[in-house]
Amino acid sequence: MVMKGSDVLNKKIFALILAFVIVFTLTIPISAGQTLYQLVMSQDTFFVNGKLFNSGDLPILNYRGVNYVPLRKLSEALGIETEYDPVTKAINIVTKADITKTETVKVEKSVEEIAENVKSTVFISMYSDIGETYIGSGSGVVVGGGLIVTNYHVIDDAVRYGISYNNTPDNQEYGRSGFIAFEMFRDIAVIPSPNELIQAAKLGDSSNLKLGQKVVAIGSPKGLKNTVSEGIISGFRNIDGYDFIQTTAPISPGSSGGGLYNMQGELIGITSLKQVDGESLNFAIPINDVKRILNDNNTLLNRELYNCLSTYWYIDSAYWFNSLCFPDGTQYHVNYYLFNEHEGADRFLANYKDVTFRESFSIKLDEIHAKLINAGYTNYILNVNVKNKSLEMQYKDNELVTIRNTLFDNP
């Protein structure tokens, strides 16, 4: 006998009004919400979700061929309180929660509330060389774990880029270069977030989107930092073999890499492109495609490799490395960069001449080797680049086969 919904609660309370519950069958399963109650007559035992409840403490009385279960013991097993009123000589049933409720309803937010996601939005400036040759700007979204998601085309042509958060003062930015992961044809890039304390966007599910549902876009069109706009999902398109969300939420150059949110404030897409000769024909990459890249084994490895040297401390000095790591067939390329003095490049070169410094740094390199081996890579090239000098080591079958070190060379 299986009972569901409000019938379970009503019949359960009706049964508990009796001093004893009459049991006729050998096994009685009762489903209330997500909880399964099972009474096994032959063993005098009671199970809650398969877990034994007070074995031997739920006695069953057989009187004239009818089985009875003590009211108080059964009510305790079901999580329902009973109270005896000595004046009225009545047994009161006390329930503290609706045990039939199984789903949490998502509350729709206002546009003002969803606009709070500007805290998770970044402004990205691109530079074509190690200097300060500015070539454009785009957007990105902090997704947690020290990561930012943007479009590949936003930073493809940039040797370096600057990241500004919503609360970053004007004319200030964090300098970065390299990737944690990228997928060129899907137009997704994952880059490190210089400030890991920044609030991350909550990732939604793009598999259950509906035509016509309201959405909110946040990005930096034409360099206008963290602009908020709203619209609807106007279609689902496949362009060159890839799925896109079509939306009427305005998107302009500079919006690329920004976030598209549902009315629960969840990130459901990364704004990517628009049709320039049409009105309100804007497109975003579904967030589930982004999740696939974020959860890829190489992305997870690259994140670990980045963390190995993102900040390298020696005594009281910090060195801020950028990284670019990627597989190439059976070989893995691991590259670390110090370009400018604010990253510690000049101090690193000066200190590298010290034996103690080199020994300390080699411990970090050993940690990097171990992570590659644990990931199953036995063939890899490790580069440490400081300005125009480098340390390059090539490994085959976990054996060092070549090494080239110009970090000692004079300028």
Residues carrying an active site annotation: 153, 187, 256
Rounded Cα gap, residues 110 and 136, in angstroms: 32
Rounded Cα gap, residues 229 and 240, in angstroms: 27
- Based on DSSP, count helices (H) and strands (E) in the chain, helices before strands: 8, 30
Q: What would the two tokens of residue 148 be?
A: 């930012």
Report the candidate in 223, 212, 200, 218 with the shortest Cα–Cα distance to residue 247. Answer: 212
Rounded Cα gap, residues 234 and 212, in angstroms: 6
Rounded Cα gap, residues 105 and 289, in angstroms: 25
* Contact between residue 361 and residue 355 where contact means Cβ atoms under 8 Å apart: no
Q: What would the two tokens of residue 377 be?
A: 């890579």
Rounded Cα gap, residues 74 and 22, in angstroms: 12
Q: Are strands 259-261 and 214-219 parallel, antiparallel or unpaired?
A: antiparallel
Q: What would the two tokens of residue 409 be?
A: 């060379």
* Contact between residue 126 and residue 138 where contact means Cβ atoms under 8 Å apart: yes
Give the CA distances from residue 309 to residues 329, 361, 370, 379, 390, in Å, rounded to whole numbers and listed in that order.
24, 10, 14, 20, 15
